[in-house]
Amino acid sequence: MATHNDLGKAGEEAATRHLERNGYVIRHRNWRKNHLELDIVAAKDNELIVVEVKTRQTTDYKAPQDAVDYRKIRRTVIAADAYIKHFDIDAPVRFDIITVVGAQEPFHIEHIENAFYPPMF
């Protein structure tokens, strides 16, 4: 497996541990339906939290959250809608981004709550 894939998996592991330490219940990781995917789906305080994880070795080029552009937001919202319908969920939904920066642990983790809102299609 490529090194960047290993770093991405380590970043998702670190993001999951961060969420669990902060009282989130992890419902699913890397949930897929057809071509759609959600990195982490969690719950806290009767709210469904969809988390996009972005892992980078450095921020020299750009901030990890800058990789979450309109196209990625749109695909994430469509995937979240599929998830909600699939599991028949009736709860408020929040979209967060967790950035994980570093070549190895300990990573610098930033949790951006309400990072984006669903766009109008």
pLDDT by 10s per residue, the chain, length 121: 456 678 889 999 999 999 999 999 999 999 999 999 999 999 999 999 999 999 999 888 889 999 999 999 999 999 999 999 999 999 999 999 999 999 888 999 999 999 999 887 5
Q: What is the dihedral of CA 64, 26, 120, 56, to 10 degrees?
A: 10
Has this prediction a pTM greater than 0.85?
A: yes
Domain 3-112 architecture: 3-Layer(aba) Sandwich (3.40)
Q: List the chain domain ranges.
A: 3-112
| Partner residues linked to 97 by β-bridges | 52, 112
CA pair distance 91, 89, nearest whole angstrom: 6
